[in-house]
């Protein structure tokens, strides 16, 4: 009944659509009811809906599609990637750096862990949209910068995040 392109777009923006609906309900209760308890609950629901809307927009910008090589699984702050040619496991606590490599097709996340080879995860791998929540828990990460870098054209490897311990151990000449 729904075209495939429209279904794909709705699926990508589903969190933002839910946030907009909750925001609308909260605004309706807050401004169009005659007062009382529902009036005040409406303001709280509207604030929650606004938070859901902002988070939904960020998630939609992060999703790059599916059908790429490999599968990503996240279990208890451990990222596992099972690909056709490579794979591996990285604990978020042991992560030293997170980079975005736009040289490959599709672009890849590069997760660097001390003592291990870098783990390359395509942005279009099945389950890669769950990486947004995992990356958002990294201390000091700037999600807006990460989202902007994902959509910038270019063929560079860009460091998105570095561990504070790793930054402080870099030797400097001066």
Distance CA 149, CA 101 (A): 10
Distance CA 22, CA 164 (A): 38
Q: What are phi and psi of 169, to 5 degrees?
A: -95, 0
Query: Following DSSP, what letter does each residue of 123-172 receive, concatenated?
Result: TTSBTGGGHHHHHHTSTT--HHHHHHHHHS----EEEEEE-HHHHHT---
| pLDDT tens digits along 95-144 | 999 999 988 788 899 999 988 999 999 999 999 989 999 999 999 999 88
**163 or 165, which is more confident:** 163
* Contact criterion met (CB below 8 Å) for 64 and 122: no
Distance CA 15, CA 152 (A): 23
Distance CA 141, CA 99 (A): 12
- Each domain of the chain, given as residue ranges in start order, spans 4-62, 71-168
- The reported pLDDT for the residue numbered 171 is 53
Residue with tokens 């929540």: 133
| pLDDT tens digits along 21-62 | 999 999 999 988 877 889 899 999 999 999 999 999 999 999
pTM above 0.85, yes or no: no
């Amino acid at each position: 009944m729904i075209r495939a392109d429209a279904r794909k777009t709705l699926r990508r923006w589903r969190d933002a659509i839910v946030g907009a609906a909750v925001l609308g309900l909260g605004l309706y209760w807050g401004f169009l009811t005659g007062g009382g308890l529902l009036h005040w609950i409406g303001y709280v629901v509207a604030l929650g809906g606004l938070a859901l809307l902002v988070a939904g927009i960020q998630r939609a910008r992060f999703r790059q599609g599916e059908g790429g090589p490999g599968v990503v699984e996240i279990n208890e702050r451990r990222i596992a990637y099972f690909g056709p040619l490579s794979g591996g496991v990285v604990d978020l606590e042991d992560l030293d750096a997170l980079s975005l490599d736009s040289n490959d097709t599709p672009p890849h996340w590069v997760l660097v862990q001390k003592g291990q080879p870098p783990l390359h995860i395509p942005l279009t791998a099945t389950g890669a949209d769950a990486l947004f929540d995992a990356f958002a828990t990294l201390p000091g990460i700037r999600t807006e910068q990460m989202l902007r870098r994902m959509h910038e054209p270019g063929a560079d490897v860009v460091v998105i995040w570095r561990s504070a311990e790793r930054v402080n151990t870099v030797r400097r000449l001066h």
